[in-house]
Amino acid sequence: MVIYFSATGTNKYVAQELAKATGEAMLPLKDLVRNNRYDIKIAEGENLGIVIPTYWEGLPSILLDYLEKVRFEFAGSNHYCYFVATYGCDYGNILSTAQKEFAKVGVHFDSLYAARFVDNWSPMFYLKDASRNRRAEENGEAETRLIVQQVLRKEKGHTLPNQMSALGAAAAKANYNRIRKTKRFKLAVDKCMGCGLCARQCPLDAIEMQQGRPVWVKEKCTLCLGCFHRCPAGAIDYDGALRNGQYIYNKVKLDD
């Protein structure tokens, strides 16, 4: 099986390519969380792949919270376990962090991979240059093809070094937790169409539709910016990010 988390489509693409090549099922982490599914059974001979975006040089909070409750049950011993991180600017310490956090729940990765796509953290990065975005996508697609072949061969020992110190990683995580407050999101009521896509796609159900408009009902979210990037009217902003544009990887059909 391939468990993935994707707000704008990149990680769904990587998971899709892996699932297509291996013939195994895809499981959105969002659905696992929403359905309170914390018992994961891996059949004899089945691979376990985890495909996750890099958030502040580490793992997104939705995955860290999930790992507090999940129980992986492996039938037999013939399994190939691998982790794939996607990233834009850098991957920080996500691979070593994933190795450490998953080991706590009995998952030991045979290899850890990373593929570089578009950095869609729009409060910082400009996303209105379609040709530059496409070059980044092509790079990620090429790296994904290589990873797929390595997974099919069940290669072991692949990983990448940390890109920052443990102190730097801790500071990045602290900053991430600080800025996850939903009060930073702003709604332009005059633009909002009331379509409800933002609420449907929110992985933590942090948004509710009230009187035809989205309302953030939780103090914090995982900060995937899915509501921001996918708003068809451009009615949602986060710290002025709209100035740099929205981004969707359009090679997959996104989950709602």
**Mean pLDDT, rounded, of the chain:** 96
Within a domain: 254: no
Contact 54, 47 (CB under 8 A): no
What's the CA gap between 95 and 59, in Å, rounded?
A: 9
Q: Taking 80 as the threshold, does the pLDDT of residue 61 lie above it?
A: yes
Residues 13 and 124 in one domain: yes
Contact 186, 237 (CB under 8 A): yes
Contact 181, 220 (CB under 8 A): yes
Amino acid (one-letter) located at 95 = L
**pTM as predicted:** 0.96
Q: What is the mean pLDDT of residues 77-93?
A: 95
CATH number at residue 206: 3.30.70.20
Phi first, then psi: what are they for 52, rounded to 5°? Answer: -140, 140
Count the domains in the chain: 2
Residues 208 and 116 in one domain: no
- State residue 255's pLDDT score: 80
- State residue 94's pLDDT score: 97
Could you tell me the residue range of the domain that residue 200 belongs to? Answer: 180-244
Residues 6 and 132 in one domain: yes
CA distances from residue 108 to 3, 148, 247 in whole angstroms, order as listed: 15, 19, 33
What's the CA gap between 189 and 54, in Å, rounded?
A: 31
Q: Taking 90 as the threshold, does the pLDDT of residue 20 lie above it?
A: yes
CATH number at residue 159: 3.40.50.360
What HEC string does 17-31 produce? HHHHHHCCCEEEHHH
What's the CA gap between 119 and 90, in Å, rounded?
A: 9
CA distances from residue 117 to 88, 132, 146, 166, 231 in whole angstroms, order as listed: 5, 11, 14, 25, 21
- State residue 77's pLDDT score: 86
